[in-house]
């Protein structure tokens, strides 16, 4: 029985960890009409059709939602931390046929499986009536078009941990505690 408890707790914690890091999540979103900041954390699991040294952040739900009135690339930044593979050398806005999206450039291509932990700090004039996290996406690899392609969207909106993840962590902790109690 003790072995079964240990196996169940390890399996539950492993599943919870995988569920928590399966995609890319946006955290710490703060938006004003002149400053938008957020963190992008997770694992690259899909890629766009080209230019894999670029990350794009923009609309997936409605390409007509123009939220960038003007963008100050010189004052904006993207910083990296944690297990992120490489630095970001620039951040800029694409308009017109490419939609209203923010793009960053790295020196080499990103690969599926790469871990990212990025902090975006965007400066400009933003139309907050059109800026909604639920309608935005994050993509590795540039795809020409009016918005981030839904099929290549990595972003999972997760302001708080998902109930399934919390349940799996709780199950794992209960199993670990029961296993420890039986050992003593």
pLDDT for the residue numbered 15: 46
pLDDT for the residue numbered 117: 94
pLDDT for the residue numbered 78: 93
% of the chain with per-residue pLDDT over 70: 72
Span 69-84, mean pLDDT?
A: 90
Span 68-95, mean pLDDT?
A: 88
Please tell me which residue, 183 or 142, carries the higher pLDDT value.
142
- The answer to which of 2-11, 81-90, 117-126 has the lowest mean pLDDT is 2-11
pLDDT single digits (tens) 15-62: 444 444 458 999 999 999 999 999 999 999 999 988 999 999 888 888
Average pLDDT across the chain, whole number: 79
The DSSP-derived string for the chain is -HHHHHHHHHHHHHHHHHHHTSSEEEEEEEE-SSEEEEEEEEE-----SS-TTEEEEEESS-TT---EEEE-TTT-EEEE-TT--S---EEEEE-GGG-SEEEEE-SS---TT-EEEEEEEEEEEE-GGG--GGGEEEEES---SSS--GGG--EEE-SS--HHHHHHHHHHHHHHHHHHHHH-
């Amino acid at each position: 029985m003790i072995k079964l408890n240990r196996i169940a707790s390890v399996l539950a914690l492993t599943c919870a960890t995988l569920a928590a890091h399966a995609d890319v999540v946006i955290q710490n979103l703060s938006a004003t009409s002149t400053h938008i900041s957020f963190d992008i954390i997770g694992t690259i699991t899909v890629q766009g059709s080209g230019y894999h040294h670029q990350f794009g952040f923009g609309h997936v739900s409605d390409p007509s939602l123009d939220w960038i009135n003007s963008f100050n690339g010189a004052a904006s930044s993207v910083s990296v931390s944690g297990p992120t593979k490489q630095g970001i050398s620039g951040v800029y806005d694409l308009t017109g046929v490419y939609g209203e999206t923010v793009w960053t450039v790295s020196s080499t291509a990103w690969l599926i499986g790469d871990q990212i932990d990025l902090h975006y700090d965007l400066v400009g004039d933003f139309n907050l009536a059109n800026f909604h996290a639920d309608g935005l996406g994050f993509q590795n690899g540039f795809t020409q078009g009016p918005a981030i392609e839904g099929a290549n969207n990595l972003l999972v909106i997760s302001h708080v941990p998902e109930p399934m993840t919390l349940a799996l962590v709780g199950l794992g902790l209960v199993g670990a505690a029961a296993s420890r109690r039986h050992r003593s």
